[in-house]
Amino acid sequence: MREGTAPLIRRQDYAPPAFWIREVDLCFDLDGAKTLVVSKMTIERNVAQPAQPLRLHGEGLSLLRVMADGLSVSFRHEADGSLVIDNPPTAERFTLEIRNTCCPDKNTQLSGLYTSGSGLFTQCEAEGFRRITYFLDRPDVMAVFTVMLRADKARFPVLLANGNLVEQGDLTQGGAGRHYAKWHDPYPKPCYLFALVAGKLSVRRQPVRTRSGKEHLLEIYVRREDLGKTEHAMNSLVASVVWDEARFNLPLDLDRFMVVAVSDFNMGAMENKGLNIFNTKFVLASPATATDDDYLGIESVVAHEYFHNWTGNRITCRDWFQLSLKEGLTVFRDQEFSMDMAGTASARAVKRIADVKTLRERQFPEDAGSMAHPVRPDAYVEIDNFYTPTIYEKGAEVVRMMHTLVGREGFTRGMALYFERHDGQAVTCDDFAQAIADANPGSALASRLDAFKRWYGQAGTPQLSARGRYDAPSRSYTLGFEQHGRAVAGQPTPQPWVIPVSLGLVGRDGQAMVLRLEDEAPTGATERVLVVDERRSFFTFVDVPSEPVPSLLRGFSAPVILTEALSTADLGVLLQHDSDPFNRWEAGQRLAANLLHAAIRGDGDGGLDATFLDAMRGVLRHPTLDPAFKALVLQLPDESLLAEQMERFDPQRIHAVREAALAQLARELHADWVWAFEQHGVAGAYTPDPVSAGRRALGNLALRMLCLDAAASGDAVWPGRAYQRVEDAGNMTERLGALTALTHSHAALADAALAHFHARFADDALVVDKWFALQAHMPERADGRSFARVQQLTRHADFTLKNPNRARSLVQAFCAGNPAAFHRTDAAGYRFWADQVIQIDALNPQLAARIARVMDRWSMLDEPYRSGAREAIARVAAREQLSSGVREIVERALQAG
């Protein structure tokens, strides 16, 4: 078997474990080059399973001793590193002791126990614990952990593990200057939630009191020099604790809750029980170094990981196929939290639009690509490849549809029943859906539960077409829906989904119409939810005074692709009058996309017409619209979204058309952009509140458009003002916005501004990441300088592939976020991708696999891009030494072509 090949794991093959681990005592000696781990496990036979050998997962470990009930036992190793005891004790319950060592200093994969700086950290999800010690490394084996940590006090003054601190003190044996800490987590958990931290860290503490009156301690650990950047993260954590108890009656259940920030981390954060470990990106913030988006990201991720304390930790997933049970539900919860924190209806709508943009930009392409999979996958080779937008964002939309079908209070009842039934268990997506339905027996969900669960089992994005017909004599309006799904390799033709369609009818005078279906009593409602659950469905509204414009899928009530025969005038009505902010934004995006696609095809005159420009001017000058909402409406659909709406695409053609449209929008609305920039300054000290952030967002957009227009006209005033803002802005949002305006317009001052920015923030790793990412996203020009810049930056003294944040900031930002520079006719961008994937795979396979996903949709490219992409993918796939994760991705990509 070639290196990097691994067996396919199928959901249908799941079987309960033959043994349970009920309790585990772990002792770590952390001082040496190799970490000594002593594990004492209380193991219980599963009497429902036939007698069989005990197989414990292990990877890259050095085994020193194995004893069962105090006696040595014979064992063997399998090729994957697992430890097998062919003849375990026959008693129903026995104790197993294992001594082994692992090497954190050599762990570049950042999975298991590893070194970052001078500290030790862990990441065990999904299968990292087996790189620490031998164990039943599967999520349905839940044990009570007690952990003893021993280390040199000067080198590792802080010693942390899950749960509550039982005792700590100086050691009297093993040499002077050593100390210990003992931690106990009273709640059973799978080993993927284990955590350990040792190092020189400072802490911010905040006591909180839950509704029961019990005191708890919140702690955030960081490097000493970063302590001043933790206030926002702590405020977000406090708000999360309060919100979860108020909204779902879920209190903090440990004496303390700890967050630790580390700069070397493969993901955003990890919800280890009571000891969350975070990427520094989602903890550290100050006005000088973090943008408004960074502040929002910290609030969201802190909440997400805290909410996992119940949805993921207290109840976890039975197997990794059920991953969305915890991730989709918790994303939904953090989205609801962030909308509640936003406060106003307008700010909530802005957050919802941002979430849908993320879904469409990341998950819809996945559904149409070579790695398409259901929310509950049927099979995988490498589980790390399935921490995906489908599991997270689409999974959240599935939960949101349940919420829509049973209502807010019904969903709260369902959550309460879910915890009543399953607290302390490892369960399935079906168990969650059943609890929500059972708590709401008369709901649209309960009556359609089996059909609704197709959202878990069917891959692909449903296509929903809608057409309306108005009958003036009867004053009736009939809406017809037809749904279908794209066939996904290895799956049967999809069956109809249960699709909740939130809708309203808007008169051409802008007035909302009262909705009444035939044979229904009038209610006076102007908005309602229809349930489309057949391939074709029809609904007739009566007492409709005139032909309406349908406002469908309000709030994006289902993750589908909606097509409807709305004219430009119809879309204009929705843009100007729809009471639903999401559909108002959507109308503007569809108007822009229609014009851009026409130009890409070469239809008509090309460019943006006067009607569209007037509509955008109306939005920009509107006296009451939220500035953040305006900024969203005024942004043209990005190149990747335009490409996803085409069967085949030429990236260079899309880029040229969109750049021309941007230049036209900048030129034709020049005076309006000047007004927007001048009127949307924010006075006073920086705060990341939604109102101030919205004003900065619109001001930054205006400055970017003014610099773009200046690049065409030769005007030096606006680039000069942008450069001045780079030098003297009072916050990172405005400083980075000004720098973006210069780089994206290729202003003559851009290089000087970049140099000034780097010199000012050279000692702040997260800001230097922004500096790399900004250049990775610089729009390509005919001379190819943007691509050449990226190549040069890979040789910069501050660049390294060993740090995931840094690698993502340049390599992934360029390959995934700069289509015109990446998709080159000479295939140089694809060769660059292949080189980077191969290099990173040797260091960190999980990171390499994420970057490999850039090529999922290569088969949709026009020639000559298609051939060049295929050659690059085949080159990676042909390597003998390749991780199983990357191999799974590139081989599936080749099969799709």
Catalytic residues: 305
Burial (CB < 10 A; 0-12, 13-18, 19+), residue 211, is exposed
Other CB atoms within a 10 A radius of the CB of residue 489 amount to 10
In angstroms, rounded to a whole number, what is the distance separating the alpha carbons of residues 703 and 701? Answer: 5
Given a contact cutoff of 8 angstroms between Cβ atoms, the answer to whether 119 and 159 are in contact is no
Given a contact cutoff of 8 angstroms between Cβ atoms, the answer to whether 833 and 855 are in contact is yes
Q: How far is CA 615 from the centre of its chain?
A: 33
Instruction: Count Cα atoms within 13 angstroms, Cβ side, for 781.
Output: 11
Short-list 174, 234, 246, 176, CA closest to 208:
234
Given a contact cutoff of 8 angstroms between Cβ atoms, the answer to whether 832 and 870 are in contact is no
Q: How far is CA 354 from the centre of its chain?
A: 12
Q: Examine residue 598 and say whether the peptide bond preceding it is cis (omega within 30 degrees of 0).
A: no
Burial (CB < 10 A; 0-12, 13-18, 19+), residue 165, is middle
- Sorted by sequence, the CB contacts under 8 Å of residue 520 that are 6+ apart come out as none
Instruction: Count Cα atoms within 13 angstroms, Cβ side, for 694.
Output: 21
Given a contact cutoff of 8 angstroms between Cβ atoms, the answer to whether 4 and 883 are in contact is yes
In angstroms, rounded to a whole number, what is the distance separating the alpha carbons of residues 426 and 181? Answer: 29
Contacts of 518-526 with C-beta under 8 Å, sequence gap 24+, read 518/476, 518/542, 526/579
Helices (H), 562-626: 568-577, 581-601, 610-621
Tell me the residue type at 618.
G
In angstroms, rounded to a whole number, what is the distance separating the alpha carbons of residues 558 and 499? Answer: 6
In angstroms, rounded to a whole number, what is the distance separating the alpha carbons of residues 678 and 701? Answer: 12
In angstroms, rounded to a whole number, what is the distance separating the alpha carbons of residues 637 and 817? Answer: 14
Q: How far is CA 600 from the centre of its chain?
A: 31
Look up tokens 């900024």; give the residue: 631
Q: At what angle do helices 610-621 and 651-668 cross, to 10 degrees?
A: 60
Written as six digits, the tokens of 871 are 């050659």
Q: Which phi and psi angles does 260 have, rounded to 5°? A: -125, 135
In angstroms, rounded to a whole number, what is the distance separating the alpha carbons of residues 736 and 70? Answer: 63
